[in-house]
Amino acid sequence: MKKLVIATRRSRLALWQAEHIGNRLKGLHAGLHVELLPLTTRGDELVDRRLDEAGGKGLFVKELETAMADARADLAVHSMKDVPADLPPGFAMAAITAREDPRDVLVSKNFNSLGEMPKGATVGTSSLRRAAQVSERHPSLEVRLLRGNVDTRIAKLDRGEYDAIVLAAAGLIRLGFQQRVTAFLAAEEMLPAPGQGALGIECLAARAEVAALLAPLADAGTTACVRAERAVSRALGGSCSLPLAAYAEIANNQLRLRALVASADGRRVLRCELGGAAGDPQGLGERAAAELRRQGADEILGL
């Protein structure tokens, strides 16, 4: 192949991610020409509602998949935390790249931590997962909806609409906003979303020639971790309507997986931690989901 077209969302972060993958591909394959196909997704348009109320994670990927199905694009680059647990028939996640910092961060102009914020102070997030974990530990804070891309969210903070916001570290790092980070939130305080910090490259399952070009970008350790995390989500329903977190780490070919399910108000939080072989991330994720179910996850999630 001499040319690849990458479907991408139009946000600055999405364009950065697509350009990053394009540059890596050109570095790997001499003479390869890469073009971007920027698209507006339904998720980008619906900025006044939580994603779980608007239709879920698929709102960020459907238009990109349609472009691939229509042969307007050869592949799409996604933040893995935005990808539904199950891909549509005919599509494959050809590569998951090495993970950026998976943690969440606090961004605030006036406070150095969630713990020092006074009663009634506002924290902005669009994530049920983040909202539940903030509310569990800091019930006196007011968690308010915050949608939009990274630039929009920071601008709303700077205008004084929120006292603090919680964002993914990876997005800020990729956009060069490290100086805006007030505090990195350890996994013990804010367990990340499945796939957070990792990029996934999707193509049609039948496009073996595209998958072959993408294969060198795959990172085995990150792939195993993300598969374990996504297996938890898939086993529990796979929707962003779930206040669910899952984070895996790998060492010595062993996975350590932590997972969490919470009520939206943070009043009930279930946690588990399991270990297993890196060669069976799916099985480890399913065991974690089973343990959360044993503790009562179905009741919390309304399953």
Specify the CATH number of the domain 219-303: 3.30.160.40
Known catalytic membership, residue 151: no
What is the pLDDT at residue 54? 45
Report strand pairing: 3-9 vs 75-79: parallel
Q: Of 74, 82, 101, 104, which one is the catalytic site residue?
A: 82
281 phi/psi in degrees, rounded to 5: -65, -35
Centroid of chain to Cα 110: 27
User: How many angstroms separate the CA atoms of 286 and 277, rounded?
Assistant: 13
- CATH homologous superfamily of 1-97+198-218 equals Periplasmic binding protein-like II (3.40.190.10)
Same fold, 1-97+198-218 and 104-185: yes
Q: What is the layout of strands, in order, in the sheet containing 33-39?
A: 33-39, 3-9, 75-79, 199-204, 91-96
What is the pLDDT at residue 148? 86
Using CA atoms, how far residue 46 sits from 74, 101, 155, 186, 290, in Å, is 26, 27, 18, 30, 34
Question: Residues 6 or more apart from 172 whose CB is under 8 A from it?
Answer: 105, 107, 150, 178, 180, 181
Tokens 């503790």 identify what position? 295
Whole-model pTM? 0.92
Question: Residues 6 or more apart from 45 whose CB is under 8 A from it?
Answer: none
Long-range CB contact pairs, 157-161, < 8 A, 24+? 157/107, 157/108, 157/109, 157/124, 158/109, 161/122, 161/124
Q: What fold does the segment set 104-185 form as a domain?
A: D-Maltodextrin-Binding Protein; domain 2 (3.40.190)
Q: Where are the domains of the chain?
A: 1-97+198-218, 104-185, 219-303
284 within 8 A of 276, measured Cβ to Cβ: yes
pLDDT of the chain along its 303 residues, tens only? 899 999 999 999 999 999 999 999 999 999 999 999 999 876 555 555 555 544 455 567 889 999 999 999 999 999 999 899 999 999 999 999 999 999 999 999 999 999 999 999 999 998 999 999 999 999 999 999 998 889 999 999 999 999 999 999 999 999 999 999 999 999 999 999 999 999 999 999 999 999 999 999 999 999 999 999 999 999 998 655 678 999 999 999 999 999 999 998 899 999 999 999 999 999 999 999 999 999 999 988 875
User: How many angstroms separate the CA atoms of 256 and 248, rounded?
Assistant: 5
What is the pLDDT at residue 183? 98
